[in-house]
Amino acid sequence: MDFKSEVALLLSNATGLSMDTAYSSIEIPPQSDMGDYAFPCFLLSKTLRKAPPVIAQELAADPKLSAEWVEKVQAAGGYVNFFVHRGHFSKVAVSNVLSAGLSYGQAQDGTGKTVIVEYSSPNIAKPFHVGHAFTTILGHSLSRIYERLGYSVVRMNHLGDYGTQFGKLITAFRLWGDEKALAETPIKELLRIYVKFHEEEKIHPELSQDARENFKRLENGAPDEVALWTTFRELSLKEFAIIYERLGVSFDNYNGESFYSDQIPAVVDMLTEKGLLLESDGAKVVMLDEYKLPPCIILKSDGTTIYASRDIASVLYREAAYHFFKNIYVVGSPQALHFRQVFSVLDKAGYACAADCVHVGFGLVKFKDMKFSTREGNIVVLEELLNESVAKTLEIIKANAEIRNTDMSEDEVQDIATKVGIGAVIYTYVKSGRERDIIFSWEEMLDFEGDTAPYLIYTYARARSILRKAADQGIVSAWAQDAALALLSDEEEYAVARMISDLPDAIKKAQASHEPFMIARQTALIARTFNRFYNNTPILSGSDEKRKSARLALCEAVCTSISVGTYLLGIDVVERM
Ligand code: ARG
C-alpha cells in the first residue's frame, strides 16, 4: 500500500469516513513544516456540528491516528497534519516498489470494465504528420495507464478510409498512376496523383464528374473500384505500420470510417423513428438547440453521409460490441465541437452511453529552430522528425565521452541513439498539459540535463551502472532485510523515497484527467531527487555495509520507478550509455 492509502486508512478508522472519501480528501501540504499529508477537517464539520479547528484538535489527539510510522500528528487551523517518520517511510516506499517490480502502480480500479481508446486514426493515402503523432503518443500512453489500473483496454484506430477523395484517387490513378512508385513509396505516390488531380481539375472540370462516379461505384461495391481502394488502404497501412513499430504502438483493430458506412441507414432509421431528423435546406439534421449547439448534419442534400454520421454509428457499434465503461477519442481540440454534437445527438436519442463518451483533445504542434522539407499544406512528416532526432542524438552521444561508455560497439551506440532520439520526441508530446500547443526545439528536447527523455534515460542508465558495479563488488541490496532500509532517513534519501512513493498516485491522477504529463512530471521528479542524492552521496563507498546495501536498494527502486514511468509514457530506457 502507498502512504497516502495508509494515512487514509487511519483517517477512515478514526472518522468513519469511507476509504475512498478519506483518500481523495488528503492533501499534500505545500511546505514540509506543515507535515507530509494533511486532512481538511471542514469535511466533517457538518456531520459533527463543530468548527473545523475544534475537530482538528480532537482528531489530532485520537490514538487511532498513531502508528509506528507516524512521527507526529498536529492540528493546524482546520487541518490535521501528518508527519511521517523518515526512515520508516523510506523503508515502506522502497519495499513497496521492489516487491511490485515492473508492475509497480498496478491497481484494480478497472476490474471488469472495458475502456475503448481510439487514437492515431490517420487518413489513408495521406502523410502521417506530427499532429497524428500527438494522438498516437497520447492514446498509446493512456491505454497503458488504463491497463495499469486494471481496465481492459481496446485500442482502436479509426482510419480515415472513406469519402469522396477516394473517387478522385481512383480517377487519378487510372490516368497518371505509377505502379512501381506505388509499391515503393505508396503515400508519396498517392499524394502526387492527388495533388495532380486538383491541378488538372481546374483545366478539365469533367474529371470531377468521373471522380464522383468512381466514388459511387466504390460505395456500391463495384469490384474494380473496391480493389483499387483496398490496395490504397493496404499500402498506406503498411507504411503506417513502420511508424507504429518505431513508436512501439499497436492496435486491436483498424475499423475505419468505411467500416461504419453501411451502418448509417440504421442510424437514419433510428433517428427518424424517434422524430429527431429534420429537413433543412435539403439536408437531414438533428437540432441541438437545447445543448446550445448548432444542428448536426446526418445526411447531406445529395443523400451522402458525412463524418458525423459515421461517428454516431461508431458509438452505437462500440456500445453493442464492447458495452464500454468509457469510449475515449484522442483527437485534436479543433474537433471538440464535432464530438459534442455527436455525443449530444446520442443523448437526445436516449442513449445512456453518450455520457460515457469522452473527447480527449490536444493542442497544436509548432517548431522553433527546425527546418523540414514540408510537403502539401505545410505539414511536417513524423518520419523526418524521428530521423532527425535520432541523428542528432547520435552526434551528441558520439561527441560526448562523458555520456557514452567508450567500449561500446557501433551497433549498441546506434541502438541507444535510436531509443533516446525517439524517446525525446515522445517526451516532448507528453511533458506538458495536452491542451497546450507544443513547441519542438532541438536544444530543449535533446538537453541531457533538462526536462527531457534523454535526461530520464541517462539517469536510469547511471543508476543501472551502480547496480552492476555493486554486483561486481558483491554488495547485496538490502530490501530483503527491512531493518536496514529504515537507515534511509537523511533528507535526500527521504526525498527520493517520497517521489517514488507518489508515483502510483500520479498514475491515478493521469488517468482521471487523461493527462499523461502527470506521470512525466513525477518521473522527472524521481530522476531529479535521485541525481541530487547520487551527486552528494557516495553510494558504494564507506565501511557501513548496512547503509550501503540500503542505498543500493533505494537505487534499485529508482530504476524500477523510472522504468514504470517511462513505460507508461511509451518511452524505452537503455541499460547503459
Ligand atoms: N482521420 C481524422 C483526421 O485525421 C481523425 C479521426 C478522428 N476520429 C473520429 N472518430 N472522428 O483528422
Please state, as a whole number, how many other Cβ atoms lie within 10 Å of the Cβ of residue 10.
20
Q: Which of 136, 259, 260, 331 gets mutated to test ligand 1 (max ligand atoms within 8 A of its CB)?
A: 331
Residue 554, SS3 per DSSP: helix
Active site residues: 126, 129, 132
Look at ligand 1, atom 3, and give the residue with the nearest C-alpha. Answer: 122
- Residue located nearest, by CA, to atom 11 of ligand 1: 311
Q: Which atom of ligand 1 is nearest to the CA of 314?
A: 10
112 φ, ψ (degrees, to nearest 5): 80, 5
> Is the Cβ–Cβ distance between 519 and 505 less than 8 Å?
no
Nearest to 497 by CA among 181, 95, 213, 69: 95
What is the structure's pLDDT at 552? 93
Q: Which atom of ligand 1 is found nearest the CA of 339?
A: 11
Torsion sign (Cα): 519, 564, 31, 10: positive
Q: Whose CA is nearest to atom 6 of ligand 1?
A: 121
- Distance from the CA of 226 to the center of ligand 1, in angstroms? 22
List 297's β-bridge partners, or say none: 285
Give ∠ CA 283-288-293 in degrees, rounded to 5: 105
**365-367 and 70-76 beta bridge pairing:** unpaired
Nearest atom in ligand 1 to 160's CA: 1
Q: How far is the CA of 142 from the centre of ligand 1 (A)?
A: 17
Q: What is the pLDDT of residue 149?
A: 98
* pLDDT at position 159: 96
User: What pLDDT score does 453 carry?
Assistant: 98
3-state secondary structure of 295: coil
Tens-digit pLDDT string for the chain (577 aa): 678 898 999 999 999 999 999 999 999 998 878 899 999 999 999 999 999 999 999 999 999 999 888 999 999 999 999 999 999 999 989 999 999 999 999 999 999 999 999 999 999 999 999 999 999 999 999 999 999 999 999 999 999 999 889 999 999 999 999 999 999 999 999 999 999 999 999 999 999 999 999 999 998 899 999 999 999 999 999 999 999 999 999 999 999 999 998 899 999 999 999 999 999 988 999 999 999 999 999 998 877 778 899 999 999 999 999 999 999 999 999 999 999 999 999 999 999 999 999 999 999 999 887 776 555 556 788 999 999 999 999 999 998 877 777 788 999 999 999 999 999 999 999 999 999 999 999 999 999 999 999 999 999 999 999 999 999 988 877 766 667 898 999 999 999 999 999 999 999 999 999 999 999 999 999 999 999 999 998 888 888 888 888 999 999 999 999 999 999 999 999 999 8
**Which three-class secondary structure state does DSSP give residue 448?**
coil
pLDDT for residue 257: 94
pLDDT (0 to 100) of residue 376: 52
Q: How far is the CA of 360 from the centre of ligand 1 (A)?
A: 12
**Which residue owns the Cα nearest ligand 1 atom 12?**
122
Distance 160 CA to ligand 1 centre (A): 6
Q: Which atom of ligand 1 is nearest to the CA of 332?
A: 12
Beta bridge partners of 39: 80
CA 360 to chain centre: 10
* Rounded Cα–Cα distance for residues 344 and 289 (Å): 10
Mutation test residue for ligand 1: of 254, 316, 335, 346, the one with most atoms within 8 Å of CB: 335
pLDDT the model gives residue 357: 98
Q: Pocket residues for ligand 1 (CB within 6 Å)?
A: 118, 121-123, 158, 160, 311, 329, 331
List Cα–Cα distances, 367 to 253, 438, 520, in angstroms: 32, 8, 21
Ligand 1 atom 1: residue of nearest CA: 160
Question: From CA 451, how far away is CA 439, in angstroms rounded?
Answer: 14
DSSP string, 222-267: -HHHHHHHHHHHHHHHHHHHHHHHHHT---SB---HHHHHTTHHHH
Q: Which residues of 421-569 form beta strands (DSSP E)?
A: 438-440
Give the distance (Å) from ligand 1 centre to CA of residue 307. 9
CA of residue 381 to ligand 1 center, whole Å: 17
Tell me the residue type at 78. G
Residue 402 bridge partners (DSSP): none
335 Cα to the center of ligand 1, angstroms:
9
CA 229 to chain CA centroid, nearest Å: 32
Residue in 118, 119, 121 to alter for ligand 1 test, most ligand atoms within 8 A of Cβ: 121
Count of all residues that appear for the chain in the document: 577
Q: Would you state the pLDDT for residue 124?
A: 94
Residue nearest to atom 5 of ligand 1 (CA): 121
Q: How far apart are CA 401 and CA 522, in angstroms?
A: 29
Return the bridge partners of 82, or none.
37, 73
Which atom of ligand 1 approaches the CA of 132 most closely? Answer: 4
